[in-house]
Amino acid sequence: MTRVAAIDCGTNSVRLLVADAERKEDGSISLKDLTRQMRIVRLGQGVDKTGRLDPAAIDRTIDAIVEYERMISRLGATATRFVATSASRDAENRDDFVAAVREVLNIEPEVVEGTEEASLSFTGAVSGLGADATAPMLVVDIGGGSTELVLGDSEVRQAISIDMGAVRVTEKFFAHCSPEAGIPLEDQERAIAWIDEQLDAAEKVVDIDRVRTLIGVAGTITTLTAQGLGLTAYQPELIHGARLSLEETEAAIRFMVDQPIAVKAALGFMPEGRQDVIAGGALIWSRIVTRVLEKAATRGTVISTIITSEHDILDGIAMSLA
């Protein structure tokens, strides 16, 4: 048994998992959570436009990491891994951020490439799903700055990280939209055309024609799942392993795209800081779900439900420490 601490620092949020990790006789690793935390810090705010991390965004993120360091020390984790993803990869001044993290945690932070991010996401996502997932499985991780598509069975077979996430889509297409209304149709159409272009390119790397099980992870998809399940508060035990039909998925997506920000912010399961970018993430998920299910139907395979996993890159990071 090893007590580990994993930190996932993305474009929109920074998250912590402290868990007891145990390697079983069959080689698999189980995690017993001691705490899971999330702070929405919007580290990647404006990176697409400026190419740099904003000093205020760095300060917000470091404040959260200082808080996490206290939790790690209090719980007595013996191994810690800090992984930064899309926003940190893209920023000219990422070394300044890395140095600040190093000073707080006294470990070497990692700014991982997209393929490593995808592999960690897959490992975490499929843990605990058991027989619910029939290979080949496509794990989709929609973050703030990037989206990972990972095809695999007992291991990763193909993977790609796309510079397309909820924050990027929002800043690129919806920054001028009124917060008091849903996203105008013409802006949706512009965003969808761009998303489809990114997915066309991704298909040259990941063969989604082979998919038999579609698994979604991370905040955009778990929030959409909470809406699809009709929850009034965030209940991870109900969200993990949930299966939604295409109709339930699309209804949740339409709600997040069409409703004003204030309505979404008032939802009991909506984390503060996600309400203004969830529409962008929802459109990404809509285009992926539609594409995967249509291709499956063309080859005579029926994918009747989409699985949501509460386990993702954060779990993958923790498992890598075992």
Where exactly are the structural domains of the chain?
2-114, 129-314
Confidence of residue 130 (pLDDT cuts 50, 70, 90): low
Per-residue model confidence as pLDDT tens digits over 222-276: 999 999 999 999 999 999 989 999 999 999 999 999 999 999 999 999 998 899 9
Per-residue model confidence as pLDDT tens digits over 163-191: 999 999 999 999 888 888 889 999 999 99
pLDDT at 115: 79
What is the rounded distance in angstroms from the CA atom of residue 191 to the CA atom of residue 185? 10
Are the folds of 2-114 and 129-314 the same? Answer: yes
What is the rounded distance in angstroms from the CA atom of residue 129 to the CA atom of residue 134? 10
CATH class of 129-314: alpha beta
8 A C-beta contact, residue 163 and residue 87: no
pLDDT at 45: 81
Tell me the three state secondary structure of residue 147: strand
37: buried, middle or exposed (CB in 10 Å: 19+, 13-18, 0-12)? middle
8 A C-beta contact, residue 169 and residue 284: yes
| CATH homologous superfamily, domain 2-114 | ATPase, nucleotide binding domain (3.30.420.40)
Per-residue model confidence as pLDDT tens digits over 288-319: 999 999 999 988 888 888 999 988 889 999 99
Tokens standing for 104?
Answer: 């707080």
Q: Would you say residue 216 has pLDDT above 90?
A: yes
List of residues 6+ apart from 217 with CB closer than 8 A: 121, 124, 125, 139, 140, 141, 308, 309, 310, 311, 312, 313
Please give the model's pTM, rounded to 2 decimal places: 0.85
- What are the angstrom distances between the C-alpha of 127 and each of 80, 204, 211, 216, 319? 20, 27, 18, 13, 10
